[in-house]
Amino acid sequence: MAKEMYVCNECGKHTPLVQKFDNLTNGVEHHYAECQSCGYRSTIFYTNSEIKALMYQQKKTAFFTKKKERLTKKIQTLMGDLKNEIEANSHE
Ligand SMILES: [Zn+2]
């Protein structure tokens, strides 16, 4: 089966999208795709136990409802905050 491809931000080559994840400190998971040409890791998202619990709730919630919309927004906000926090710390 053909894998989904993406363009690497680092070397600009097409590479298969193989999603992997690492466990970071404080229960944070870093989900990323690794370039097969240069090994550069493109971040897909970061998650933690709070976000995972919300994602689980969101999955169980019916489509096109206010509740699902609210959960989706909340997850996006938390993921954005988490990403900013981690990336700010990694440049120290
Ligand atoms: Zn690359």
- Structural tokens at position 67: 């509740």
Give the tens place of pLDDT for each residue, 43-69. Answer: 999 999 999 999 999 999 999 999 999
- Contact (Cβ atoms closer than 8 angstroms) between residue 15 and residue 5: yes
78 Cα–ligand 1 center, Å? 28
5 Cα–ligand 1 center, Å? 12
Domain regions of the chain by residue span: 5-89
pLDDT band for position 89 (50/70/90)?
confident
Q: How far apart are CA 81 and CA 76, in angstroms?
A: 9
Which residues, by Cβ under 5 Å, contact ligand 1, an ion? 8, 10-11, 35, 37-38, 40
Distance of alpha carbon 41 from its chain centroid, rounded? Answer: 12
Identify residue 54 by its one-letter amino acid code: L
Given a cut of 90, is residue 2 above it in pLDDT?
A: no
91 Cα–ligand 1 center, Å? 21
